[in-house]
Amino acid sequence: MAAYLCPPAVIHGEHTVKTSQIVEEVRDRHPNATWAPRVDGIAASTGIDSRGWMLPLETAVAPGSGNGLRAVGVEPAQEALAREGFSGQDVDRVIAALESVPGPQTVQERTAPAWEAVQAYGERAARGALQIAGLDASDVDCLITSHSTTPALPGLDVALANRLPLREDVMLLPATQWACIAGTRSLALAADLVAADPDRVVLVVISEALSTTYQPADDTLESLIVRLLFADTAVAAVVTGRRRRESVLRLDAAWHHTLPGTQDLHRLETRADGTHFVMDRRGPRAVQETVTAMWEWLRVRYEDHPGSWHPDVLLAHPGGTRVLEYMEQTMPEEWPSGLLDYSRDSYTSGNRGGAAVFDILRRAHDAGLQKAGNRAVLYAAAPGLTATALDGEWL
């Protein structure tokens, strides 16, 4: 399966949003929420002090262009008030009051500016990855893209084909629903593509505006956690079938796993006011099952080296720190500590979804501590519940 990966380009959201700003916003908006007395502790438990967004917090919490009557309409509201015995004068007063109340943003108002940012950030990441790899846009044979919170057709693949621009015969492979697994699964697909044609050059671009799931009106505990977790990031990397001077990691094997009956644990729902990320509290335990399955894959893969093999670095995006703790608790006792340090470091500035593994890889590369021959395992889990891992060697 040998495929060669160049260092990724990582573009963080340029608008810094502090956790203290989010706490202040939700406390003011939902003073009577059941979790309100615990909001400071909940925020601190994430371990995230700030995160970068493609758009400022003010954009996410701004009211829509419509008013409180948008959903029902003026005439139905007038008829309903009249049926309740309101006088004509009172009806006029109520309607005037409702018309002065700003309504929430629509899905279009939430998504349109984020989609523009996703394209712009994706282009910057793509150009950065090509520059790192010493290649031009004309060298790309295949483009794999992912963006899960900004639905669009055509998508990021066609947008980048025009923006870069790419050759007209480039294979475009969009994967908008990979979400958190986009990093590892795109690399597995790219490895298969270059295995079929070693001269093929594959460009992977993942651009996620996860801040679009910030829904001011939601008052559930899960919604609070979503507000606190996500960051916006665009990443890109070049995968080739032949080693290049710029290559830093050889990908040797891929593993895929889907857990039946877990499709409702994490999901995106598109409603009138935009995209909502819905989480079930059973989610982390389900992710843990995929971790256990990955350990078994690695055990079988290296069963001829009992007790002597271990990865030198784990680049893992399991969705949160709870599962990172589970990974540390369940990995073989003889494995060294600190394998997940770069993963933990990435989480201190937010959950980057599909862009996370590339960000973690970049941190490991920039640290300069990996030596040629070191073994690396990349892992990610996503709504589904599905997971993909890769085993490779540092070059």
Q: Are 331 and 183 in contact (CB under 8 A)?
A: no
Rounded mean pLDDT, 153-167 = 97
Q: Tell me the pLDDT band of 101, cut-offs 50, 70 and 90.
A: low
Read off the pLDDT of each residue in 258-283 and give the average, rounded to a whole number.
Answer: 82
Task: State which amino acid sits at residue 334.
Answer: E
Q: What is the DSSP letter of 255?
A: E
Q: Give the mean model confidence (pLDDT) for residues 119-134.
A: 98
Evaluate if residue 103 carries a pLDDT over 80: no
> Which is the catalytic residue, given 159, 160, 180, 188?
180
142 tagged catalytic: no
pLDDT for residue 84 is more than 90? no
Q: How far apart are CA 141 and CA 204, in angstroms?
A: 11
Structure-block tokens of residue 86: 């309101």
Which is higher by pLDDT, 26 or 82?
Answer: 26
| Strand segments (E) across 54-167 | 142-146
pLDDT surpassing 80 at residue 82? no
Q: Read off the pLDDT band of 94 (50, 70, 90).
A: low
- 161-202 pLDDT, tens digit per residue, is 999 999 999 999 999 889 999 999 999 999 999 999 999 999
Q: Which two tokens stand for residue 261?
A: 């009956």
Question: According to the model, what pLDDT value does residue 18 have?
Answer: 97
Question: Residues with Cβ < 8 Å from 103, sequence gap 6 or more?
Answer: 63, 64, 66, 67, 68, 69, 70, 71
Q: Report the alpha-carbon distance of residue 46 to residue 15 in Å, rounded.
A: 20
Average pLDDT over the chain, rounded to an integer: 91
- Per-residue pLDDT tens for 343-376? 999 999 999 999 999 999 999 999 999 999 999 9
Above 90 in pLDDT, residue 236? yes
Q: Are 239 and 187 in contact (CB under 8 A)?
A: yes
Write down the pLDDT at residue 102. Answer: 65
Q: Are 141 and 171 in contact (CB under 8 A)?
A: yes
Cα 94 to chain centroid, rounded: 43
pLDDT in tens, 21-71: 999 999 999 999 999 999 999 999 999 999 999 999 999 888 777 666 665
Which of 54-58, 290-294, 330-334 shows the lowest per-residue confidence on average (mean pLDDT)? Answer: 330-334
- d(CA 283, CA 321) in angstroms, rounded, equals 13
Return contacts of 342-347, CB within 8 angstroms, 24+ apart: 342/313, 342/315, 342/367, 343/314, 343/315, 343/316, 343/317, 346/317, 347/47, 347/48, 347/320, 347/321
Q: What per-residue confidence (pLDDT) applies to 264?
A: 84
Q: Which DSSP letter does residue 103 get?
A: P
Write down all domains in the chain, each with its CATH number in brackets.
3-62+105-240 (3.40.47.10), 249-394 (3.40.47.10)
Residue position matching structure tokens 């890109």: 236
